[in-house]
Amino acid sequence: MRELEKIVKAKTRMKDPSERLVLLYSRDQIARRVRELAAVISADYSGSDLVLIGILRGAFVFLADLIRQLTIPVVVDFVGAASYGSRTQTSGQVAITKELQVPVSGRELLLVEDIEDTGITLEAIHNALKKLGPRSIKVCTLIDKRERRLVEMPVDYVGFTIAEGFVVGYGIDYADRYRYLPDIYRIEELEERAE
């Protein structure tokens, strides 16, 4: 464990010196919450033909941990979408960058995402998937951040709710950085620059 802590501390130093990371959720808190979500999802979808759809790239870590805690069989696929680039604010334009490989007509879909922010990307993906004829579409997000919500989309399973802030770690990035961190942090100085 001490070796892992040294690696994390060394990696955390590999950041923009003007960005300060503040711990929001530890890996233990995240693991506990993922187990709780998995238990509820397993109960809700018992006996269903469930397809988990991870929204790339941020959700891959969360999805990997979530499926290992489920007690029901599932099929997994991914959809890619981009609306941020290297900015902290969405462009408002969503590009689908990866289509599904698995047929979803008549099946239960659970979209799994890292963070629900503006609702713009989720709405675009939801609308695209709806055209494929699934039986239902629900959403599971690790973090629900309502501060910048522009489009109200129902979120059925929520790991954590935060009021505001730009977060990184546990698969969530800023300009392709910080994804590797095992905990979730808020970037303080970045928030000040974004305003």
- Neighbouring CB atoms inside 10 A of 79's CB total 20
117 tagged catalytic = yes
What phi and psi values does residue 88 have, to the nearest 5 degrees? Answer: -100, -5
Query: Considering only CA atoms, which of 73, 76, 72, 136 is closest in space to residue 100?
Result: 76
Q: Tokens 């033909």 appear where?
A: 49
Q: What is the CA radius of gyration of the chain?
A: 17
Which alpha helices (H) appear in the chain, and where do they start and end?
A: 2-12, 27-44, 60-69, 120-130, 188-194
Catalytic pick among 117, 156, 173, 176: 117
Strand partners, 74: none
Q: Which residues are catalytic?
A: 117
